[in-house]
Amino acid sequence: MSEEKKSSIEENLAELERITKSMESGELTLEESLKAFERGVALIRESNEYLGEAEKKIRILTEGTETV
């Protein structure tokens, strides 16, 4: 199974912004809007996964450094 290269969170956010603007413009057909929405959902899921992994790394790095 080949793993596709994941975009950075910054790239995902930029693409989400482009998708949002195109959908808000009202110039997309219903089919185009549905495809854009589907892509947006995929980007959000990928970004949430990335943020979850980052949060885990931060917890590991800061574990034991908290003072009471």
**What is residue 42's predicted lDDT score, i.e. its pLDDT?**
97
30, pLDDT greater than 50: yes
Domain ranges of the chain: 28-68
Q: How far is CA 26 from CA 21, 33, 34, in A?
A: 9, 9, 13
| pTM score of the predicted model | 0.76
Q: How confident is the model at residue 64 (pLDDT cuts 50, 70, 90)?
A: confident
Q: Radius of gyration over alpha carbons of the chain, in Å? A: 17
The number of angstroms, rounded, from the C-alpha of 2 to the middle of its chain's C-alpha atoms is 21
Q: Using CA atoms, how far apart are residues 4 and 48, in angstroms rounded to an integer? A: 17
